[in-house]
C-alpha cells in the first residue's frame, strides 16, 4: 500500500465509570452531546479537517452501538479509496486472547494495521474530549523540528493539574520533564493526550513497553518517561482553543452548557471546523405558540409546548404544556409531563417525568443525574 504521511489511532474503549449511568449501555465516546452529536464526533471531524483519512478506532467496552455508529467513516467523509474509519477491537492471537491492558497496549496490539499503511507519523487521539482542532499544523511542526514525539499541551487551572500529565519545556518548547498526574506540579502546562509519533520511534517504544513486566502499558505513565530517559527529541505543541475532558458528570454537564454561551471557540456548525455526526435525520422539531423557549439547543423530532430555558434537548423529546425545563440536558425520547419542573439535571434516555414531579435543584452546586423509570 502507498506510504502516507500520517494516520490516526483513536482510543475509544474507555468505560467511563465517572459518568455513572450515562455509560451503563454505551462506551464513553458514544455518549450523546449537544442534542444530536456524540462525543467521538469531535475527534473524527477533526481528522477530516486535518486531511487524515485513515483512522483506526480501538473499541472495547460496550462496543456495539459505537461500532454501528462509526461504520466506515462515511458520515465524516473519511471513506476514501483504501482509507476510512476501521473498528479495531481486541482479538484472538495465536496463543491467547486478552483485553487492551492500557492505552499503549491498545496501539501495540494493532501494529499490523499501522504497518499496512506504513505512515511517517502516527497521531494518537482520545475519543472522549470536546474540542475542535486541525492536527495538520502540529504534524508540520513535528516535521520541522524532526521530533520523535510531539505532545499537544494547554494551560489548565493549578487546582486541576493533578488530573493530567504535566510537561516542563525549555525556550524552544522541547520537553525536558514530564509528571504524570502529580500531587505537586511544577507548572500548569498539561498534556491533552494528543500525540504525534514518528512511526519508527513509536514501534520501538511500544515493543520495549510490551516486554516490560513492570509497565502499566500507558503512554503517560510509562512510554513518555522512557523516551525522555532515552533523550529522544520530544516537543510540545501549544493549543489555545476550547478543550474539555468530559470524564465526569459535572464536566460533561458544563461542556453542554458551554454550547449555549455562543462562544467563538466552540461553534459546532462553523465551516472551518464543523462537527459532523452519523445520527439519522428526523422530522423537524415543533414549538407551539404557547411555548416559551430561550437560549436552548433542540434536536430533531422534539415537541415543545412548555417552557425551555438554557437547556440542551436531544431528539424526540416532549415537553408538555405547563412543564418547565431549565439548565438541563435531556437525552433522546424523554417526556416531561404537565406541571413537571426539571432544573440543573441530566435526564437519561427514555425517561418519563410525571405530572407535577420536581427533579433537580436550581441553586444546587451539584448536577442531578436522573434515570427515573424507563418508559415501555
Which residue positions form the known binding site for alpha-D-glucose 1-phosphate? 100, 165, 180-181, 191
Q: How many angstroms separate the CA atoms of 215 and 210, rounded?
A: 8
Burial tier of 320 (Cβ tally within 10 Å: 0-12, 13-18, 19+): middle
Phi, psi of 137 (to 5 degrees): -60, -35
Which residue matches cell numbers 455508529? 69
Which run of H or of E encompasses 112? helix 111-117
Q: How far apart are the first and last CA of the chain?
A: 50
Rounded Cα distance, 1 and 28, in Å = 33
- Rama region for 298: left / alpha / beta (φ>0; ψ in -120 to 50; rest): beta
In the block, cell 462525543 appears at 39
In whole angstroms, give the CA distance from residue 52 to residue 334. 37
* 353 in Cβ contact with 336 (< 8 Å): yes
Give the CA distances from residue 186 to residues 147, 168, 205, in Å, rounded to whole numbers and listed in that order. 24, 8, 26
Assess contact for 209 and 215: CB atoms under 8 A: yes
User: Cell match 483504501: residue?
Assistant: 82
Three-state secondary-structure class, residue 282: coil
Binding-site residues sit at: 100, 165, 180-181, 191
Work out the angle at residue 85's Cα, subtended by the Cα atoms of residues 84 and 91, and round it to the nearest 5 degrees: 125
DSSP secondary structure, 71-86, as one string: TTSGGGT---TT-EEE
Amino acid at each position: 500500500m502507498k506510504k502516507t504521511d500520517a494516520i490516526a489511532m483513536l482510543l475509544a474503549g474507555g468505560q467511563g465509570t465517572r459518568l455513572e449511568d450515562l455509560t451503563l449501555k454505551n462506551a464513553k465516546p458514544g455518549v450523546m452531546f449537544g442534542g444530536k452529536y456524540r462525543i467521538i464526533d469531535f475527534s473524527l471531524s477533526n481528522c477530516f479537517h486535518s486531511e487524515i483519512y485513515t483512522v483506526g478506532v480501538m473499541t472495547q467496552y460496550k462496543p456495539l452501538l459505537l461500532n454501528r455508529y462509526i461504520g466506515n467513516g462515511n458520515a465524516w467523509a473519511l471513506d476514501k479509496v483504501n482509507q476510512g474509519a476501521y473498528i479495531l477491537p481486541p482479538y484472538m492471537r495465536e496463543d491467547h486472547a486478552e483485553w487492551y491492558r492500557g492505552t499503549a497496549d491498545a496501539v501495540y496490539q494493532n501494529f499490523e494495521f499501522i504497518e499496512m499503511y506504513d505512515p511517517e507519523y502516527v497521531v494518537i487521539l482520545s475519543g472522549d474530549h470536546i474540542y475542535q482542532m486541525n492536527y495538520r499544523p502540529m504534524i508540520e511542526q513535528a516535521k520541522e523540528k524532526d521530533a520523535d514525539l510531539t505532545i499537544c499541551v494547554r494551560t489548565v487551572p493549578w487546582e486541576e493539574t493533578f488530573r493530567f500529565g504535566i510537561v516542563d519545556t525549555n525556550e524552544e518548547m522541547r520537553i525536558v520533564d514530564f509528571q504524570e498526574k502529580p500531587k505537586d506540579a511544577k507548572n500548569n502546562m498539561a498534556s491533552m493526550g494528543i500525540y504525534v509519533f514518528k512511526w519508527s520511534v513509536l514501534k520501538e517504544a511500544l515493543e520495549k513497553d510490551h516486554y516490560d513486566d513492570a509497565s502499566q502499558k500507558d503512554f503517560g505513565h510509562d512510554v513518555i518517561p522512557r523516551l525522555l530517559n532515552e533523550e529522544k527529541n520530544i516537543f510540545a505543541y501549544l493549543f489555545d482553543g476550547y478543550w474539555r475532558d468530559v470524564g465526569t458528570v459535572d464536566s460533561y454537564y458544563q461542556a453542554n452548557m458551554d454550547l449555549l454561551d455562543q462562544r467563538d471557540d466552540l461553534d459546532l456548525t462553523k465551516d472551518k471546523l464543523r462537527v459532523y455526526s452519523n445520527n439519522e435525520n428526523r422530522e423537524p422539531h415543533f414549538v407551539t405558540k404557547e411555548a416559551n423557549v430561550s437560549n436552548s439547543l433542540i434536536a430533531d423530532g422534539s415537541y415543545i409546548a412548555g417552557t425551555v430555558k438554557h437547556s440542551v434537548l436531544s431528539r424526540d423529546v416532549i415537553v408538555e404544556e405547563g412543564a418547565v425545563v431549565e439548565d438541563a440536558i435531556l437525552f433522546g425520547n424523554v417526556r416531561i409531563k404537565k406541571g413537571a419542573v426539571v432544573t440543573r439535571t441530566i435526564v437519561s434516555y427514555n425517561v418519563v417525568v410525571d405530572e407535577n414531579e420536581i427533579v433537580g435543584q436550581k441553586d444546587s452546586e451539584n448536577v442531578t443525574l436522573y434515570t427515573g423509570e424507563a418508559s415501555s
